[in-house]
Amino acid sequence: MADPIPEPEREPDQGPLQDAGEPATAPTSESAMLPGRIVCGVDGSEPSLEALRWAGRQASLTGASLEAVMAWEMPGAWGWAGLPGLPEDFDMEEPAAEALSEAVTKALPPEQAKGVSQVIVMGNPAEAILDRGEGAELIVMGVRGLGTFKATLLGSVSHTVTLHASCPVVVVRGAAEQAAASGE
């Protein structure tokens, strides 16, 4: 017969061991108690607005901050396909910022929209969302309803982010995508 398991040693000033029915407490760091950050990719489409609404509700429930991210790329044909170059005063950042602001205002209640951090990034949308998602509690994306197989073939943003994110990712279907998936 094996020896009985000895009781853990404790210092005299620690008091009695906790009864099995009492919850144990563990020291926590201040940073672990702070609300996190939710990053939501936005492109102005209805599915991305639905994702922003979902992210807004989640942020309200958890106390997390909400960051809406819109990325844009220079059209690839300029400069190499014999097309004229872009005008010197060409600026995609301003229209992108306006589109993001409009999306946030449209998707969220006014009080919540005021507190949303709006980030415009020039670059690949998936890479931009992945970069902004570093250290985030959650990334939220909309889906265009192409289905898993087509999304894989097309290399969709939501598919790429889901595969490579360093945090959990929620992919929200828009109303049309939900209806199509349920056969309505």
Mind listing the pLDDT tens digit for each residue in 26-64?
455 454 556 799 999 999 999 999 999 999 999 999 999
Instruction: Taking residues 19-28, report their average pLDDT.
Output: 51
CA distance 169 to 116: 19
Q: What is the pTM assigned to this prediction?
A: 0.71
Q: How confident is the model at residue 135 (pLDDT cuts 50, 70, 90)?
A: very high
Q: CATH number for 124-184: choose from 3.10.50.40, 3.40.50.620, 3.40.50.2000, 3.40.50.2300.
A: 3.40.50.620
* Phi and psi at residue 168, to the nearest 5°: -60, 150
Q: Residues spanned by CATH 3.40.50.620 within the chain?
A: 124-184
pLDDT at position 96: 92
Q: How confident is the model at residue 128 (pLDDT cuts 50, 70, 90)?
A: very high
Mind listing the pLDDT tens digit for each residue in 136-148?
999 999 987 554 4
The pLDDT of residue 152 is above 50: no
The pLDDT of residue 122 is above 60: yes
Instruction: Taking residues 20-31, report their average pLDDT.
Output: 51
Instruction: Taking residues 110-133, report their average pLDDT.
Output: 96
Mind listing the pLDDT tens digit for each residue in 58-95?
999 999 999 999 998 876 655 555 556 666 666 788 99
Q: How confident is the model at residue 151 (pLDDT cuts 50, 70, 90)?
A: very low
